[in-house]
Structure 1
Amino acid sequence: MQKRTGFVSRAAVGAAAALALLAAGCATTTGGDGANGGDASVEKGFKVGLLLPESKTARYEKFDKPYFEQALAELCEKCELSYQNADQETAKQQAQAEAMLTEGIDVLVLDAVDAEAAGKIVKDAKGQGVPVVAYDRLAHGGVDYYVSFDNRKVGEVQGRALIEALEKEGAAGEGQIVMINGSPTDPNAADFKAGAHAVLDGEVEIGAEYDTPDWSPDRAQTQMEQAITSIGADDIVGVYSANDGMAQGVLAALKSAGVDEIPPITGQDAEIHGIQRVISGEQYMTVYKAIRPEAETAAAMAVALATGEDYAGGEDGLTEVESGDGEKVKAVLLDPIAVTEDNVEETVVSDGFYTIEDICTEAYATTDFCTSADDS
């Protein structure tokens, strides 16, 4: 197979430029005041804390943590990473943060289980002179920087893709759709939901809608079973699922109900099983968020904060967002990418996220995507 190398995201270019800038020591020095870091140095090294929220979604352990660790090592060879995963438990994450602060971290990168509850973590850290980068989810409490994707745009991308699928199948204006949204404690989920509604409202009839605690695939399956009972399987023409894990639960419910022609289902995170469902026709699309530049940006922000430098942002610079408790935060928001069967190779494969061999396991070897890959 001839690998295509033309796909390079603007996010990746911007993050690489930011890394090069910091590595060269070209950021503007602000002379940290202790309350916001700035006392550490790359030459001597320092401790960086990384708190990730859960392991049900494959991305965190497989991509976010190793990408962040690699980027930090490139920027600060002598730095030490302290890492914990909260397994979707708010109290556990609080305890992990307290332990890291006790051990003496110099900067904290936090992906909150619960954005509001994480405000205590942020305030505790700031009270000890430890600056905080909000990673992927915007926590309360006055974080210093925030890096994520344009989460409202993620929902818009999903909504547009679902409408596109309905139009292709001639089902636009027919039947009803079901919305399986993300966790109500995740601020990103609210943005995904708002973005999707901005596109879907007035264009489709939403027959049932659920918020899904902990992004649980099992809960999503139960919710989809309830929707099938209340609407009727034959009248469901599409499903908005906020991520790939829940899309798996949605699909299981449809198959259990004896549905042969699976309606288009959305997803997010480009998990390997989500990509495999996309190429087999069991899921219409997923959203690919280039995690490497997100992790690299977070590492660059952390190093800047610890050493008293301004982080200037990547290719497009910094924007400003408002947290749920009204704090203004400087942020980098990366662009999400819709992935359907038509562009799997040009996105997740070309970008090195997965190989053809990863995707085309025995169960999927006879799909059009895999047979075409073998022929090219």
Structure 2
Amino acid sequence: MQKRTGMVSRAAVGTAAAFALLAAGCGTTTSGDAEGGTASIEDGFKVGLLLPESKTARYEKFDKPYFEKALAELCEKCELSYQNADQETAKQQAQAEAMLTAGIDVLVLDAVDAESAAKIVKDAKGQGVPVVAYDRLAQGGVDYYVSFDNRKVGEVQGKALVEALEKEGTAGEGEIVMINGSPTDPNAADFKAGAHAILDNEAEIGAEYDTPDWSPDRAQTEMEQAITSIGADDIVGVYAANDGMAQGVVAALKSAGVDELPPVTGQDAEIHGIQRIIAGEQYMTVYKAIRPEAETAATMAVALATGEEYDGGEIGLTEVESGDGEKVQAVLLDPVPVTEENVEETVVSDGFYTIEEICTDAYAATDFCAAANDSK
């Protein structure tokens, strides 16, 4: 359940204003119940950041550096303690315990398992340490949450797949395969629900899998099973919940001797996903502007540590409900679909990737790279 309590605008709007407010020590108002500390920007304080895994390239390459930079701009003397759990729930619990023992003042948590993370949240709050849920909504009563409208992500993917089938004239002619994300990730459930809301009315789903750990290798195995059960010629499209799993899907199709690949979806705008898109091996991905997400998380963390309330800036706050029924004030950012037609207007223009990073030797002959080089 989601209830809008603030004004919605573009993802990146309002972050600089929030920085200015916090740097000046000025509070804002909100209807939320977030707890606040008594640390100060002038003296600095300790911030813990726990990210869930490294199989998805975004966390180490983008989320952590963006968060670190935003925190440094907000609080020059603040100290960041960072750990990645490598998709292990017990490891993340141990990392959180170590950070709490070391005396962090606020915790930013991207949970491996939202339900299991309730213990981390309750332990932190029991020690007076507020918690920001980052990207995944942990249970246990977090203070704030920042992510994307995850059901909308699935809807964007589903709509793109339907559009691709219509373009190719294969809508209604065969079956699609759904390769969903990890069953322990609440975001994956939202992506899946959003995709089903579109695809159930537009396509025949021949096989569907929930993929532990978002594993590309497992996705490849699942796709191989689908090819065996349905037949490669009868698969007209594949819903892959992210780019890593899309890689496994494409590998399975190629291994099965499929020359004309069906449209395949993705998410996260990973560099290899973008390259598959310009090469015609993947139809689309979902670009989630990680910089404003990380900046918002840093702003929330500083506000909580210093006892300032946060109103979500120009994007505004949304009330969401976690898996254990807790109502949480959140900022939800908008996802953007990326196909070959708008690669340059999205990930390139935002500085996510350069043309040189995309157009390596293996992709230099693609129409996209040829056109990009001709325009220089």
Fold match (TM-score > 0.5): yes
2:54 is aligned to: 55
2:182 is aligned to: 183
1:25 is aligned to: 25
Q: Give the distance between the partners of 1:96 and 1:144, measured in 2 at CA.
A: 20
Q: CA deviation at 1:29?
A: 7.9
CA contact (8 A) 1:122 1:140 kept: yes
Q: Give the distance between the partners of 1:340 and 1:202, measured in 2 at CA.
A: 23
2:229 is aligned to: 230
Deviations 1:265-303 (A, max 9, x none): 000000000000000000000000000000000000000
Gaps of 5+ in 2: 1-8
1:287 paired to 2:286: yes
Runs of 4+ in 1 over 4 A off after TM superposition: none
The one-letter code of the counterpart of 1:226 is Q
Q: Give the distance between the partners of 2:86 and 2:323, measured in 1 at CA.
A: 23
CA contact (8 A) 1:177 1:237 kept: yes
Deviations 1:118-168 (A, max 9, x none): 000000000000000000000000000000000000000000000000000
1:77 paired to 2:76: yes
Q: Give the distance between the partners of 2:126 and 2:29, measured in 1 at CA.
A: 22
CA contact (8 A) 1:27 1:312 kept: no
1:1-20 correspondence runs (5 A): 10-20=10-20
Aligned residues: 365
Q: Give the distance between the partners of 1:95 and 1:150, measured in 2 at CA.
A: 30
1:1-376 correspondence runs (5 A): 10-28=10-28, 36-376=35-375
The one-letter code of the counterpart of 1:93 is Q
Q: SS in structure 1 opposite 2:165?
A: helix
Identity percentage of aligned residues = 89
CA contact (8 A) 1:165 1:264 kept: yes
Q: Give the distance between the partners of 1:54 and 1:178, measured in 2 at CA.
A: 26
Q: Give the distance between the partners of 2:73 and 2:351, measured in 1 at CA.
A: 19
The one-letter code of the counterpart of 1:12 is A
1:3 is aligned to: none
Q: Give the distance between the partners of 2:277 and 2:61, measured in 1 at CA.
A: 20
Q: SS in structure 1 opposite 2:13?
A: helix
Q: Give the distance between the partners of 2:170 and 2:158, measured in 1 at CA.
A: 15
Query: TM-score scaled by structure 2?
Result: 0.95
Deviations 1:44-101 (A, max 9, x none): 0000000000000000000000000000000000000000000000000000000000
Q: Give the distance between the partners of 1:189 and 1:29, measured in 2 at CA.
A: 32
Gaps of 5+ in 1: 1-8
CA contact (8 A) 1:50 1:84 kept: yes
CA contact (8 A) 1:140 1:323 kept: yes
The one-letter code of the counterpart of 1:11 is A
